[in-house]
Amino acid sequence: MTNSEFEQVVDEDQGAEEELSFESMKLDEPIVKALGEMGFEKPTPIQTRTYESVMAGRDVIAMAQTGTGKTAAFGIPLVHKVDPERRDVFALILTPTRELALQVTREVSQIGRHRGVRTAAIYGGASFTNQVKEIQSGVQIIAGTPGRVLDHIRRGTIRFEKLGVVVLDEADEMLSMGFEKEISEIIDGLPKKKQMLLFSATIPDDIRRLSSRYMGQADVISVSGDEVAAKDVTHYMYLVSGTNRPVDLVRVIEAERPESSLVFCNTRDETQTVARYLKKAGYNAAWINSDLSQNDREKVMSSIREGKIDFLVATDVAARGIDVSHLSHVINYAFPESLEGYIHRTGRTGRAGRAGVAVSLVTPQDIGNLYYLRLTYKLDLVERTLPKEETIRRKIELERIDQLRDRFGDASVGEFYGLAARVMHDAYAMKIVAGLLEEFFEGAEIEEQSLEAIDVIGIPKEVDEELEGEEIVTPVHLEAEPIAEEEVEPERSEVPIEAAHEPEEAELETAPVDGGDEAQAGREDEGEENEIYVDAGRKDGLRISHLMKEIVRLTGLPRTSLGRVRMLTRSTFIQVSDEHFDKVLDAVAKIEFHGRALKAEPAQQP
């Protein structure tokens, strides 16, 4: 059966039930009370349409996606059917991710709170023993991920002899994540006589296969048209010319400042280009499309789970299998080719109870689609305009002044106070200060190679300055992300390298001490400086500014008590006087970087 045939079945289904209210559903009073407390005034279309079939005990295939109220669509009848007096598992809900398992458990337990229904979330990565205890305490509804549920079944720690209903939630996601085998093994072990409910945003072939294998005559239900639109999502659009999309994308990101985002492209090639561009612009971006091997795909997915990737650039197909529940935005770099595509993409955000935001770059060619989107789905995208370059520059400058105040506002300037006063009155004052600022911001924060690369591809200067100023958190180097040759080529810094630890790898970044060369020279004369070796460098995503900030925070020493810092590709050397050596060594070893403590030790003397 094709998706459009599904829609037709749906259409037949619409009608009489439309008027249902929670009261007319003849639900138990405690459920109605709970729904009232949850702020649910009337059932959503998917709840209305699935209700009778589920209550009548029939198998159901429901095409519905996040935002339609699908969880309560099975949650409400399940809670109604449970006998709270019993202590065995009555319903099992399989979900693709732990986040969804938790979310479902939360919602179902809220619905069942006045009915004494007990629920548990069972997912990997959490304590097995605690889960066993929880199950043994007598839960009636379990929501879990296939892998962990199967583990419990194999170990005999969950028993499903009395199971009445199994729900496959986001079935298409589960299958595209490769859970088909686990799901089959789980279902094969369940009682033959049970009700099965399958909820899925789309019905691809593998879902059809699964449903025909395990479900008899199922009622096929869907919500179509305007009801599908994810209601918790705010939709914005930016009109762009389409001639320089990557630049426009960065500007949109700068304007919207999403914490994290799924960026949709229409072609596989585009995903790579866009991800590379974002990386060069200083964002933690990765791409995913069907060209990526399973292994690399898993690496990307685990980076996403660990929150290391803020911008995932994907095609529609590739994005389907991934858990992106923590991503705050969906950005349509290219407007989807179909309206359904728009609905599917934007439904990816606003999960886990969070309000999501969908942002589209819209070219004059897409206007027609926008019109149909409004007509068909009653979706009105709010138009926003890109800030003018002048506005961006002003914003960056004000932010930088804040940064400088934070850094130097309380500093005791000592011997340089007089010099500062002289500089201010010098004929070259502006140039000198501009030069110092350039060294401060560009020397410490940004990778020279990315600046160069950005220049080549032409991010407006203003934008790249802002990116750089923003880069306080250290980005990650993602192994899975294929990197073009020119990106990995080390670059030489203009700052002279001292011979002491000249390794095979080229020096990439050095930062002079505050106070410049004079102060540096002073310390070198003392001949009391030693170096600390740190086991991470620029390629690992470490930044001198970040490292220094942490050392200053942990030791309480002024920045001036630290000497020259040389950052190489995979290591960093910090010059420190004997007096502070141990203190700084201890501090560095306490700095957490990408989930581990940095390793610090005295550098080998040549």
Chain contacts with ligand AMP (rule: CB under 6 A)? 40, 43-44, 47, 66-72, 107, 353
Nearer to ligand AMP, 107 or 227 (CB): 107
CB of 259 to ligand AMP, least distance (A): 20
Over the range 482-518, which residues count as b (16 or more CB within 10 Å of their CB) and which as e?
eeeeeeeeebebeeeeeeebeeeeebbbbbbbbbeee
- Residue 541, SS3 per DSSP: coil
Chain centroid offset of residue 464 CA: 23
Nearer to ligand AMP, 47 or 284 (CB): 47
200 backbone dihedrals φ, ψ, rounded to 5°: -155, 140
CB of 374 to ligand AMP, least distance (A): 22
CA torsion through residues 425, 437, 397, 409, sign = negative
CB of 76 to ligand AMP, least distance (A): 9
The burial class, CB within 10 Å (0-12 / 13-18 / 19+), for 327 is: buried
d(CA 513, CA 436): 12
Pick from 264, 288, 260: nearest CA to 475: 260
CB of 324 to ligand AMP, least distance (A): 14
Nearer to ligand AMP, 42 or 388 (CB): 42
CB of 404 to ligand AMP, least distance (A): 43
527's tokens: 């001949």
d(CA 570, CA 503): 11
CB of 234 to ligand AMP, least distance (A): 14
Nearer to ligand AMP, 70 or 543 (CB): 70
Nearer to ligand AMP, 67 or 146 (CB): 67
CB of 25 to ligand AMP, least distance (A): 11
- Phi-psi category of residue 558: left, alpha or beta, with phi > 0 → left and psi -120 to 50 → alpha: beta
Nearer to ligand AMP, 145 or 510 (CB): 145
Q: Specify the length of the chain in residues.
A: 606
N-term to C-term CA, the chain? 73
Nearer to ligand AMP, 329 or 477 (CB): 329
Nearer to ligand AMP, 34 or 591 (CB): 34
CB of 272 to ligand AMP, least distance (A): 32
d(CA 568, CA 383): 45
Angle, CA of 493, 499 and 501, to the nearest 5°: 90
Nearer to ligand AMP, 25 or 190 (CB): 25
CB of 19 to ligand AMP, least distance (A): 15
Angle, CA of 599, 603 and 606, to the nearest 5°: 155
d(CA 17, CA 21): 9
